[in-house]
Structure 1
Amino acid sequence: MVDWNEETDVIVIGSGGGLAGAYTAAREGLSVKVIEATDKFGGTTAYSGAGLYYPNNAVLKRAGDDDTPEDAREYFRAVVGDTAPLELQDAYLDNGPKLIDYLEADENGHFEFMAYPWPDYFHDAPKSRAGGRHIMPALLDPARLGSLRDVLRPQPGPDRLGMPLPEGEMFGGQSLIGRFLMALTDLGVDLQLNTSFEEFVVENGEVVGVIVDHAGTHEAIRARRGVIVAAGGFERNDEMRTRYGVPGVGRDTMGPEGNLGKPIQAGIGIGADVAMMGEAWWSPGLTHPAGNSAFSLCFTSGIFVNQDGVRFTNESAPYDRAGRDIIAQMDAGKVTLPFWMIYDNRTDGIPPIDSCTQPMVEPEQYYEAGLWKKADTVVELAQLIGVPADALVATVERFNKFAAGGVDEDFGRGNEPYDGYFNADGNPLVPLEQGPFYAAQFGISDLGTKGGLVTDTTARVLDTSGTVIPGLYASGNSMAPASGNAYPGGGNPVGASMLFSHLAAKDVVANR
């Protein structure tokens, strides 16, 4: 018997994309409580660009998109294959556009979206689209948030480095989470910070509530209708990463400090099945003076070299594909960490990266930490980073030859729309010829783990025999992904988190 401290219809664990589930349940008339382990709402979603990968949605159609459900399914199937159940893939593709319709019908007009062309990540797959299938939340005036901005997790610059909040309209995850916080406040949802999940309460095989630690006090909260786990992955839990063979360390993830995987572990403890536990959303990561290597993308020039001074990958490939290639070569013993980006002076000594999710600090700090090197010649640069000079010279000369000819014969850089998306002329084959020359240290980063609780198409958690665990749902990085071990296009992680929490709430409303 449990002495309940409080009761509600639905408990949502986590406050990122899973807020879509809280919004749906509340809009349909249920009482909802959101518990967040940290002191800010938003999770990894608040850090993100908040792209949403929902092919054939109304926002894209209004922008003139001529995609079809059949084409989108063919592409998604070709990329994901059998690494995720086909019915889960279909649930994602079929219901994403409906979620956008649902949000755009908000009676207070809180949700606005815009088409944001962003190439699909596998150009060679059938029915790939160079313009992508990607939308984003519209920009948001921070004045609309009022005091809610004080509890919204800011971007990594302010959050991790103490930088001031940016001025002007809010973009990406800041806009998305801000919009959800406004909508949830209007609906009277109980939003509670500093409340970490500890365990599920199970009666007769059904999840009926949770035990939490709220500011140091254990409390029991009853969920009359259901519990939705949307707490991210276990990327900050190094013990779990080691146990399930996830490369890298928690220090280098973009997941906030609260993403420890407690609900996933508790789910396993009550018999839930898990899948894809060795998987994450990968990227190369620029190493910062604080010691962490953080998600970096949009490279406009430069090359990566390994410990032998040899180039080893397409630097401009979509970040998850690049990260997976680097990890595969690490496993094969061909690359060790750190590896280096080699670049010339056309960017005035700053690494040619258009998007550092964790902003760069003063260059002097990188040099003092030994993370950036500068030399008048490639030979001298090789000596500074400890690689064979003849190999590095040959590598640069070979790449420059490819740049002059317009074809990367080694790794196909520039062969896909994404590769040149961040270069004004669409050409990422930029020669390294303007001395002095530079090297910046890189490691492996991730946007979070993507393995988790196995669910059906309505986000109900299944046990190891395939039977539904009544009262328990999961979405986003807390669930085994509908995209399997692939990353089909920008907006897939946030899209899955929002959609499956929404489907969970719909099932709660209809069947619980």
Structure 2
Amino acid sequence: MAGAYTAAREGLSVTIVEATDRFGGTFAYSGGGGMWYPCNPVLVRAGVEDTIDDALRYYREVVGDRTPAELQDTYVRGGAALIEYLERDEHFAFKILPWPDYYSSAVGARNDGMRHIVSKAVPDERLGRFRGLVRGPLDHERLGAPQPDLLTGGRALVGRFLWAMADQPAVTAHLDTALVDLVVQGGRVVGAVVEHDGVRRVIRTRRGVLLATGGFECNDAMRAEYGVPGAARDTMGAPANHGWAHRAAIAAGAAVDLMDQAWWAPGLIHPDGRAAFALCFTGGIFVDRHGRRFANESAAYDRLGREILRAMADGSVATPFWMIYDSRAGEQPPVLATNVSFSPTEEYLARRLWVQADTLAELADQIGVPAATLEATVNRFNEFAARGDDDDFGRGREAFDRAFTGGASPLVPIDTPPYRAAAFGVSDLGTKGGLRTDADARVLDTDGVPIAGLYAAGNTMAAVSGETYPGGGNPIGASLLFSHRAALHMAGI
């Protein structure tokens, strides 16, 4: 959307090709829809004091040399200019949503969350010819909830891009149309083969093709090929994210990187059997198959997801693993953001995804862990909670750990029976491995040379953040910026 909008605004004709019946992809599932853009105009107007040098110092410390310094520099420096560009158009409006950086102790981290903004909501009725065509939210698609008329979160910015393009005759759009192949002539990409209702056609291009089709998280065969842990069943990715663009670009000579990586998260298992991205834990502990804690449960979700995967790799954690909590707040697990709303409690109980017992020993028997070990684990955790410090995993020592408890300690005692356990697995927000690009989002071949006429962004592009997730709004922020830069490059700007 950002690339199509920019290209149209700069005078190019644009064709948007979308494989599903709705626009927006995984971005449309984001409840916040945040963008990590240090020193952008929205923050500056609010009087936030920050520097690009501090933000870049933080980003480089977290990401390291896993990705090119030029890409990191372009991302950190480029977000502010993109917001300035968009705000010159009355279709766009943003606000601050404080969200702490995910590596709070790293040099340059912003622990007050003042590098993170979101789009303001917009009514669906403003979208003209695109009205009713924004994907999501998840409760609508997975639980059958009514689709709201007010576009919020990620849906809001998708909607604003569509609103801005609705009256532009230079923009055409095709839904239910899948990419099949790229057309290459003389080493240059000059078009794409697409398919709609079983009929294939060729769309010729003069300036370029931008591939921003998400990752390949919904393709179990491709996940297995590249060694991506987890399963398509448990991803939060949009349903057509099968890696077709990756395949087409690789066939055209593109180089790839980070293909075994994803944006990870613990996933609460719902009655449909799927583990869905969960965050904002205000209590509870995770235990392994031996009944022991194995991670900081309040860590940023990608960091926590990677700890879970490490434990799975060494055999100490299996799926499902269990969150242990008590009844001080009721039957539901202490999870503020489930992304897919809780179903009725009886559905979890009927499928034994949630279990309860009057004693920890009885609970241990129900989830298949040693009773003595679970009792010792909970007793030790309760001692940490009493003194407000976690000697084992440092829970509560970083700013993000306390972001959802009003600054209070996330070490909440487990001492109010009946005791409870909820089943968890691993979820992801999509794969992050993809096509190697330069700072203008031009796809590089295996010799590091740009493939003329081919660009990539979003989860189709190898993530600028490498094997880390520096802060909320980083995937979306990078997707928008490099799509924008691709279009500017096509327009010769």
> Which residue of 93, 109, 122 maps to 1:112?
93
Q: How many residues align?
A: 490
Provide the secondary structure at the position in 2 that maps to 1:240.
Answer: helix
Separation (CA, whole Å) in 2 of partners of 1:377 and 1:131 = 40
What's 2:252 paired with? 270
Q: 2:354 aligns with which of 372, 375, 378?
A: 372
* Equivalent in the alignment of 2:73: 90
Q: Match of 1:397, as an amino acid? A: N
Q: CA deviation at 1:166?
A: 4.0
> Alpha carbons of 1:88 and 1:386: their partners in 2 closer, same or farther (altered >3 Å)?
same
Q: Which amino acid aligns with 1:186?
A: D
Question: Where does residue 278 of structure 2 map in the other structure?
Answer: 296
User: 165, 168, 180: which one pairs with 1:187?
Assistant: 168
1:363-419 Cα offsets, whole Å, 9 max, x none, are: 111111121101111111111111111111111111111000100111011001110
Whether 1:136 aligns to 2:118 is yes
SS at match of 2:135: coil
State the distance in 1 between where 2:41 and 2:125 align: 28
Find the counterpart in structure 1 of residue 290 from structure 2: 308
Alignment correspondent of 1:481: 463
Which runs of structure 2 are paired with 1:498-509 in the superposition (5 Å)? 498-509=480-491
**Residues of 1 paired with 2:151 and 2:175: CA distance?**
22
1-side partners of 2:126 and 2:112: how far apart? Answer: 32
Is the 2:43–2:96 Cα contact (8 Å) retained in structure 1?
A: yes
Cα distance in 1 between the residues matched to 2:240 and 2:44: 38
- Listed as ranges, the gaps of 5+ residues in structure 2 are none
Whole-Å Cα distance in 2 between the matches of residues 145 and 505 of structure 1?
22
Q: Secondary structure at the match of 2:481?
A: helix
1:55-78 CA distance string (max 9 Å, x none): 111111112211101101100000
CA distance in 2, matches of 1:177, 1:28: 19
Which residue identity is paired with 2:9?
R
Note the 1:159-170 alignment, pairs <5 A: 159-166=141-148, 169-170=150-151
Equivalent residue for 1:39?
21
Q: Is the 8 A contact 1:377 1:437 kept in 2?
A: yes
- Of 49, 73, 82 in structure 2, the residue corresponding to residue 99 of structure 1 is 82
1:424 aligns with 2:406: yes
Match of 2:454 in 1: 472
Among 223, 243, 267, the alignment partner of 2:205 is 223
Q: Which residue of 2 aligns with 1:282?
A: 264
Ranges of 4+ aligned residues in structure 1 off by more than 6 Å: none
| Identity over aligned pairs, percent | 55
Counterpart residue number, 1:460: 442
CA distance in 2, matches of 1:147, 1:20: 18
Which residue of 2 is the match for residue 11 of structure 1? Answer: none
Indicate yes or no: 2:47 matched with 1:64. yes
How many Å separate the matches in 2 of 1:160 and 1:421? 28
SS in 2 for 1:76: helix
- Aligned match for 1:391, one of 373, 378, 382: 373
Instruction: Trace 1:47-58 onto structure 2 (pairs within 5 A).
Output: 47-48=29-30, 49-58=32-41
2:67 is aligned with what amino acid?
A
- Flag structure 1 segments of 5+ consecutive residues without an equivalent: 1-18
Match of 1:125 among 94, 106, 109: 106
Cα distance, 1:149–1:278 mapped onto 2, change above 3 Å:
same
Contact persistence 1:27–1:187 (CA under 8 A) = no
Residue 150 of structure 1 aligns to a residue whose secondary structure is coil
